[in-house]
Structures are given as structure tokens and as C-alpha cells.
């Protein structure tokens, strides 16, 4: 099977960090032997008399600890506020009871563990029964087991139970081992003991590892890929006999664990890790996860993810050619039925390596719909990524890493030249343009944005507190496609734009929308335009008159719309009707 030393080998990886120091707090009722356990551990001695009430904290260096990390062991008294103060600083709690005093075990369930929950402790607990050296007639293993089992079922924070004897030095070192192991290789983040299954976050992380190791992207690990994985994580290769042994275990216990080619499938890979954990080899899975950058919360560490991009307000983040190639390859791999579309299930599979679904459901985001409702074309998929980068480029880039991008994260994107430089040189270097859409309430902004992606007309308005945007790639000249993002700006955001040039610099143009059937509609955008001109003088602008399928009414503003645009050196307002799909080529303009 898998195993050996850590690091190195066939893949370029950066390991996740592991704690370098652990604080172990020992607590329990009076007289259960807390202090004796510590004394036995550090001096291998036991005293019946003159035992201090509380032992001073002891630090054990990594070279003599069971795991290669230092550990500070803290004894506690029964002064409640002192105990709770120490518990709040603990990385792991060793909760001791007396095997021959049943009431101390009862209080584990009725006092100690409930109080730890009240304190919101999020640390593992090792339950230790001391005084195992006493004659068996004074306590019963079966009675203890009957009591312990429901405790572990109710309190999942209990990682392990062990019996020891400070008097005869039995299992004392093991107490320290289990305490360190519970912190360094915790069970709870990976495994649900009640269902005997890996937790979703662990499956997602391991699925990403599998995806990274599947170099030819065929959904299986061939013998070379499996051996490269083994060497990367453990610095040793599997010989032919060991490789056959791994496959035989999978073949016998996991239907679908091997492909028709006899290679390891994702299901088989996941099964092996579940087996390691069930067999007490959880450190194997943690070594794998940390090799591929995961921390104790099953998130990629900041050092690994290395999302250090910074940009000026008038710069954008766009997909690089490498980023596009990766996303399109990912699309094709996820397109299981090869129909050129991603169904919701296929999209879910694509994002199965992410800790959560990456596209924020509270944002209203539209791309061009396919003929099959709910399915996404390649073009719409890339448009959606343009929106994601526009909304939050760091989260978008981190998602690409979670999806299995193996290069340096920054190579998946490019930071555009500053807009002011483009304006000076009169050469546009961006491939995606951001357009802010501003207008009064019910002026038709939302339908104008929906029209960009061919959404059917809807008389129902989107709630004003929703964040609305759409994206589409448009071919302006033959062979020269450009992305266009249109984002609705709320009244609150308008106020922010009028006082911050930096915010206004994030867009390439502003589309001012007014309703020809509302006499006050144009005044709102005219005054807004004049305010924004004070912030940014050279602002590419288009005025749009909506609902032109209806009879227009005179606007109350002192200057007619066509005169206003002429005064400011702007093209006349573009007449648009979202209802009857007349847009006068607005989106190309």
C-alpha cells in the first residue's frame, strides 16, 4: 500500500502547513490522576504522597515527542474559572476519569463535555481512563465500554478513548501520542464516524488531488500516474507487487474502483483513503492533503494558493490564454455526454473539487442561454468567468486553483494595461469591456441588461436590492471578439461613484437609460451625468431611450434629450424597445 516519507517527486507541489507546537490541557475530577500522568510522562516516576495539586506546565521538544512537533502539557486544578481559562487556550483536551470511580466517568458526560460545548471549544478531546493497574474486580471493561460508546456517539469531539496507568507506566506515552495525533491528523474534518464515510470537504479535496494527478485527463490514474502520485507524497515508488496489491484491495471491495483498463478510478481513490482512516492510518490521508496544499480546515493555504495579484483601479483582470485553455479543457472533460453543453449536474461535477459552489447565488448574473434550458455553452461558460473575474478576481482565481490548475495561479490571468494609457495611446488592449448602466427606478435598465444575452422580456422587475449584471462576447469585426459586461448601478452605488474617481475608473463606459413614458426619467440621468463628469471628465457615454414601442411623453427637464447630448458632444440617444426586441445594434455600439 501507500506509505513512506513525505514530499518531493513527480508533481510540482507546495505543501500545506502543519502546526509546529501543540498545547495539551489535562482536566478532570479531583483525584483521577491528572498530575500523576504528567509526572510519569516526564520523569517515569510515580508517588503516592506529596503529589502537587497542580503540576507546572511542561514543554516536550519535538525530538522526543511521538510526532515531530513540540508540545506544552498543562495541568489544571478544579477552580472553575482557571480550568476554563486553560481550556480556551487548548489545541487538544485530555479528559481523565478514574476507572474504579464510576461517578468520575458519569461526570464526563454530565459535566465536563457539556461545559466544553458551552464554551464553544472547537478542539478534539482524548478520553483517558486512569488506574488501569487496579484489580479487574474493582471495575469492568464491559461496563466501561457500555458507558463510553454512547458518550462517543453523542460527543463527536471525542477523537479517541484509551486506558492507562500512571502507577505502572502503562500507555502513558500513548496518551501523548493520541493527543498530538488528534491535532496533527484530526479525524473529524475528514471522516464521519457515525456513517463511516468521508465528509464532503474531504471528498472535494481528494477529488482535486486525483484531478491534478490525472495528467492525461481521462478520468483514471494509470500505473505511471499512480506511481508519480506515490512518489510525490511519500518519496518512494510502488513495485509491481505492491501496485497489484493495491488494485486487488480495490477490486475486492469497491465496485467501479478500477476502470475497464484496470486503472484506478476516482471512486477507487476515494475508497482507499476511507480504508486508511478506518484502519487507523489517517496520517496517510493527511500527508497527501498537506502535500497538495491543504491546511487543517481543508482549505488551500495562503502560501500554496499564492493569490498575490494587485492592480490599479483602472486596470482589469482577464483570462490569459493559459487560463482560457484550462477552462475549455475542464469544460470538455466535464461534458460527459459530449453534447457541447454543461448540464447543471455536469457543472456540479466540474466544481466538485471546490469547498463550496463558487458562483454566488445572491448575485443575478446572465449569460446567453442555450436552446436546452439550464444548460451552458462553451461561450456562455467563458462569459460567466468574465463576470466572476469582474465581481471578485481573487475568488475567481482561487476557484481555478481548486478546479485543478497546476501552474502558478497568476499565469491563468492577465492584468490589463491602465485605461488612462489606452486613452492616451488610442490603442485598446483590453478584451473585456465593463459598462455601468444607470437610470431611475423602472426606467428599463434591467431589461436592457437582459437583452444583452437574449433573455426573454419580463414585465416583472428584479428587486432593487439585487446585484444585476450580464456578459456576452460580441464580434465587432470579423475574427475580433470582445467581451461586454453590463452592470446595473443602484442609487447607493451612484452616490459612491460621484465621490470616488477610483470607482468610476473601474468601468470603460456608462450607459444612461431613461424611460420615454416617464416625464421625470431623463432629468435623473442628466443630473447624474453632470455629477459624474466632475469626477471623470473623459467618460465614454451612451444615452438610451427605452420603451420606445409606446407613445413618448415630454420630459420635464429644461433641456430636451437630443439637445442635451448635442450640447455635451454626445451621440443622440439610442431608441430601444426591449419588449419588441429592437436594440438598434446598441450592444455593438
Tens digits of per-residue pLDDT, 263-307? 999 999 999 999 999 998 999 999 999 999 999 899 998 888 778
What phi, psi does 265 have (nearest 5°)? -90, 170
Question: Which one-letter DSSP state was computed for residue 136?
Answer: G
Residue 5 has pLDDT above 50, yes or no: no
Joined grid coordinates for residue 324: 482560457
Are residues 284 and 190 in contact, defined by beta-carbon separation less than 8 angstroms? no
Question: Which one-letter DSSP state was computed for residue 411?
Answer: G
Residue 16 has pLDDT above 70, yes or no: no
CA distance linking residue 54 with residue 76, whole number of Å: 6
Tell which residue, 399, 415, 402, 383, has the closest CA to residue 318. Answer: 415
Question: Cell 465621490 belongs to which residue?
Answer: 499
Residue 426 has pLDDT above 90, yes or no: no
The verdict on 460 and 512 lying in the same domain is yes
pLDDT digits (tens, 9 = 90+) for 528-564: 999 999 888 888 899 999 999 999 999 999 999 999 9
Joined grid coordinates for residue 579: 419588449
DSSP assignment string, 506-539: T-SEEEEEEETT-TTHHHHHHHHHHHHHHH-SS-
Q: Quote the pLDDT of residue 44.
A: 76
Residue 340 banded pLDDT, cuts 50, 70, 90: very high
pLDDT digits (tens, 9 = 90+) for 359-377: 998 889 999 988 788 899 9
Q: What is the pTM of this model?
A: 0.84
pLDDT digits (tens, 9 = 90+) for 118-136: 999 989 999 999 998 876 6
pLDDT digits (tens, 9 = 90+) for 229-239: 999 999 999 99
Joined grid coordinates for residue 508: 470603460
Q: Quote the pLDDT of residue 587.
A: 82
CA angle, 79 as apex, 73 and 85 as ends, to 5°?
A: 55
Number of domains in the chain: 4
Q: How far is CA 159 from the centre of its chain?
A: 25
Residue 12 has pLDDT above 60, yes or no: no
Question: Which residue, 130, 156, 184, sits at the end of a domain?
Answer: 184
CA distance linking residue 466 with residue 62, whole number of Å: 54
Percent of the chain surpassing pLDDT 90: 64
Residues 6+ apart with CB under 8 A from 536: 501, 504, 505
User: Residue 176 belongs to what domain range?
Assistant: 21-184
Q: Quote the pLDDT of residue 578.
A: 84
Residue 573 banded pLDDT, cuts 50, 70, 90: very high
191: in domain: no
Q: Quote the pLDDT of residue 47.
A: 66
The verdict on 62 and 160 lying in the same domain is yes
Helices of type H across 520-586: 521-535, 561-567
Question: Which residue, 155, 184, 213, sits at the end of a domain?
Answer: 184
CA distance linking residue 139 with residue 395, whole number of Å: 57
Question: Which residue, 157, 184, 211, sits at the end of a domain?
Answer: 184
Cα separations in angstroms, 426 against 419, 422, 429, 475: 10, 6, 10, 20
Residue 461 banded pLDDT, cuts 50, 70, 90: low
Residue 13 has pLDDT above 70, yes or no: no
Inter-helix orientation angle 266-278/240-253, to 10°: 90
Q: What is the mean pLDDT of the chain?
A: 89
The verdict on 449 and 569 lying in the same domain is yes
Strands (E), 53-200: 58-60, 70-74, 92-98, 125-130, 158-163, 191-192, 197-198
Cα separations in angstroms, 468 against 410, 492, 534: 28, 14, 26
The verdict on 214 and 98 lying in the same domain is no
Joined grid coordinates for residue 31: 483525584
CA angle, 419 as apex, 418 and 423 as ends, to 5°?
A: 125
15: in domain: no
CATH of the domain at 401: 1.10.238.10
Helices of type H across 279-343: 282-291, 302-305, 321-334
325: in domain: yes
Amino acid at each position: 500500500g501507500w506509505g513512506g516519507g513525505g514530499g518531493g517527486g513527480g508533481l510540482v507541489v507546495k505543501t500545506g502547513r502543519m502546526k509546529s507546537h501543540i498545547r495539551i490541557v489535562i482536566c478532570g475530577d479531583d483525584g483521577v490522576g491528572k498530575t500523576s500522568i504528567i509526572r510519569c510522562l516526564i520523569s517515569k516516576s510515580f508517588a503516592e504522597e506529596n503529589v502537587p495539586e497542580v503540576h507546572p506546565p511542561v514543554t516536550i521538544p519535538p525530538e522526543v515527542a511521538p510526532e515531530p512537533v513540540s508540545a506544552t502539557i498543562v495541568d489544571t486544578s478544579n477552580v472553575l474559572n482557571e480550568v476554563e481559562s486553560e481550556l480556551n487556550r487548548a489545541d487538544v483536551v485530555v479528559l481523565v476519569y478514574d476507572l474504579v470511580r464510576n461517578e468520575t466517568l458519569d461526570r464526563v458526560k454530565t459535566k465536563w463535555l457539556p461545559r466544553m460545548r458551552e464554551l464553544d471549544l472547537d478542539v478534539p478531546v482524548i478520553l483517558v481512563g486512569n488506574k488501569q493497574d487496579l484489580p479487574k474486580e474493582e471495575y469492568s471493561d464491559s461496563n466501561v465500554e457500555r458507558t463510553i460508546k454512547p458518550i462517543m456517539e453523542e460527543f463527536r469531539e471525542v477523537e479517541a478513548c484509551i486506558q492507562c496507568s500512571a502507577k505502572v507506566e502503562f500507555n502513558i506515552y500513548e496518551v501523548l501520542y493520541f493527543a498530538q495525533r488528534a491535532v496533527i491528523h484530526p479525524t473529524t474534518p475528514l471522516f464521519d464516524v457515525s456513517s463511516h464515510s468521508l465528509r464532503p470537504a474531504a471528498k472535494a479535496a481528494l477529488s482535486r488531488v486525483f484531478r491534478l494527478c490525472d495528467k492525461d485527463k481521462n478520468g483514471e490514474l494509470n500505473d505511471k500516474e499512480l506511481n508519480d502520485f506515490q512518489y510525490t507524497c511519500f518519496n518512494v515508488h510502488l513495485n509491481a507487487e505492491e501496485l497489484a496489491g493495491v488494485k486487488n484491495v480495490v477490486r475486492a471491495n469497491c465496485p467501479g474502483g478500477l476502470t475497464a483498463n484496470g486503472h484506478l478510478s476516482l471512486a477507487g481513490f476515494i475508497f482507499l483513503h476511507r480504508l486508511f482512516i478506518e484502519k487507523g492510518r489517517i496520517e496517510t490521508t493527511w500527508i497527501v492533503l498537506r502535500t497538495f496544499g491543504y491546511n487543517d480546515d481543508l482549505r488551500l493555504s495562503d502560501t500554496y494558493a499564492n493569490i498575490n495579484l494587485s492592480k490599479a483601479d483602472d486596470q482589469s483582470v482577464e483570462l490569459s490564454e493559459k487560463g482560457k485553455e484550462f477552462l475549455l479543457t475542464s469544460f470538455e472533460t466535464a461534458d460527459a455526454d459530449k453534447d457541447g453543453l454543461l448540464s447543471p449536474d455536469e457543472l456540479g461535477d466540474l466544481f466538485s473539487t471546490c469547498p463550496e459552489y463558487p458562483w454566488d447565488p445572491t448575485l443575478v448574473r446572465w449569460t446567453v442561454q442555450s436552446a436546452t434550458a439550464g444548460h451552458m455553452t462553451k461561450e456562455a461558460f467563458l462569459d460567466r468567468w468574465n463576470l466572476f473575474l469582474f465581481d471578485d478576481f481573487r475568488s475567481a482565481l482561487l476557484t481555478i486553483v481548486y478546479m485543478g490548475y497546476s501552474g502558478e495561479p497568476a499565469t491563468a490571468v492577465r492584468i490589463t494595461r491602465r485605461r488612462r494609457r489606452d486613452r492616451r495611446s488610442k490603442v485598446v488592449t483590453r478584451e473585456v469591456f465593463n459598462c455601468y448602466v444607470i437610470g431611475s427606478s423602472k426606467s428599463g435598465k434591467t431589461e436592457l441588461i437582459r437583452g444583452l444575452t437574449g433573455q426573454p422580456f419580463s414585465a416583472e422587475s428584479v428587486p432593487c436590492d439585487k446585484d444585476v449584471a450580464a456578459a456576452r462576447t460580441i464580434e465587432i469585426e470579423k475574427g475580433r471578439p470582445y467581451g461586454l459586461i453590463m452592470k446595473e448601478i443602484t442609487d447607493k452605488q451612484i452616490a459612491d461613484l460621484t465621490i470616488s474617481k477610483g470607482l468610476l475608473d473601474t468601468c470603460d463606459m456608462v450607459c444612461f437609460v431613461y424611460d420615454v413614458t416617464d416625464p421625470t426619467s431623463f432629468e435623473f440621468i442628466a443630473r447624474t451625468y453632470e455629477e459624474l463628469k466632475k469626477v471623470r471628465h473623459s467618460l465614454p457615454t451612451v444615452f438610451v431611450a427605452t420603451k420606445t414601442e409606446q407613445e413618448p411623453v415630454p420630459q420635464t427637464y429644461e433641456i430636451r434629450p437630443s439637445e442635451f447630448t448635442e450640447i455635451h458632444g454626445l451621440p443622440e440617444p439610442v431608441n430601444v424597445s426591449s419588449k419588441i426586441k429592437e436594440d438598434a445594434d446598441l450592444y455593438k455600439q
